[in-house]
Amino acid sequence: MFDLDRHFDLGDLAELRPSLAARAGEHTTDRRQIDGLLLIATELATNAIRHGGGRGRLQLWHRGTTLYCRVTDAGPGLTRTDIGRVRPEPTATGGRGLWLCRRLARLLYVHAGPGRVGTTITAIIASEQPDGRRTPPSPAPASLAAALAERTRELLGTSQYLCARAAAATAAAAEICRRRPRRRIEPRPL
């Protein structure tokens, strides 16, 4: 399903670019498309490391000559999914990465995880025609829907697991309170 599916952290960042370039080169000869992919993937992976918990997961796949790049992290999640739509001021100290990704990608989907935990960003990078126009992206493959369904199942499983753990902890605390004799607390004189 994926041409590349890799978990990464800061130590893996330098190795991502050559792996991506090699995989993308198997599906397109458009150098600008590959360069765009490398820049987008590096920006998204760097953001995942910097803002998303120090690690993430990168997935690359293709449909025809259109490349899809998804980066997922488990950080605090974005509060705004429209981030990067407006060009940052020249004096701004940050905020250029997602703006640049939006400029290079044909489409960029930003999805905050349930309860604002984790962020998934999917970039669609279309090849350019000889006259400089971008080809429209291929329709989202059925595998994208399957991948989203799988991720949803993973998150639901995690959520159900956490709810079950919380319920077990609550039941254990209630049992401890039930067994422990109640003591009356007398006020102490000042």
pLDDT at 152 over 60: no
The pLDDT value given to residue 68: 95
The angle that helices 31-51 and 96-104 make with each other, rounded to 10 degrees, is 150
- Residue 82: Cβ-neighbour burial (10 angstroms; 0-12, 13-18, 19+): exposed
**Helix (H/G/I), strand (E/B), else coil: 171:** helix
The two structure tokens encoding residue 167: 């319920």
Q: Judge if 134 and 145 occupy the same domain.
A: no
Q: Judge if 154 and 130 occupy the same domain.
A: no
Q: Is 187 a domain residue?
A: no
Q: Judge if 69 and 126 occupy the same domain.
A: yes
Q: Judge if 30 and 66 occupy the same domain.
A: yes
Nearest to 47, CA basis, from 90, 68, 76: 76
Q: Is 68 a domain residue?
A: yes
Question: Which residues form the domain of 174?
Answer: 141-180
Q: Judge if 65 and 100 occupy the same domain.
A: yes
In this structure, the number of other CB atoms found within 10 A of the CB of residue 122 comes to 21
Q: Judge if 105 and 148 occupy the same domain.
A: no
Q: Judge if 63 and 108 occupy the same domain.
A: yes
Q: Judge if 81 and 134 occupy the same domain.
A: yes
Across the range 44-71, mean pLDDT stands at 92
The pLDDT value given to residue 150: 58
Across the range 91-112, mean pLDDT stands at 88
CA distance 69 to 163: 32
Q: Judge if 129 and 73 occupy the same domain.
A: yes
Residue type for 55, please? R
The pLDDT value given to residue 101: 92
Average pLDDT value for the chain: 79
